[in-house]
Amino acid sequence: MTEVVRESILTCPSCSKSTLCVMPTDACLFFFKCEHCNILLKPKPGDCCVFCSYGSVKCPPIQQGKSGC
């Protein structure tokens, strides 16, 4: 089993600014407020969380081969 990466860089689709985040391993993050432009990020259709939509690394369940959060 591969080690789960817990850090992901979320990039805002509105202002293109990036924020380093530590992903929870026991819950999904469905919403994230951009610190730069204050837009509320939500998962894209078909994605389970904001990390899967806007992150540099997918969420821990996806990394482990599960179907999502």
Interval 23-69: pLDDT, tens: 998 888 999 999 999 999 999 999 999 999 999 999 999 998 888 77
Rounded to whole angstroms, the Cα distance separating 18 from 41 reads 12
Looking at residue 68, its pLDDT comes to 75
- Strands annotated E in 1-69: 7-11, 18-22, 32-33, 40-41
CA atoms within 13 A on the CB side of 11: 6
Looking at residue 1, its pLDDT comes to 57
Rounded to whole angstroms, the Cα distance separating 8 from 59 reads 8
Looking at residue 57, its pLDDT comes to 95
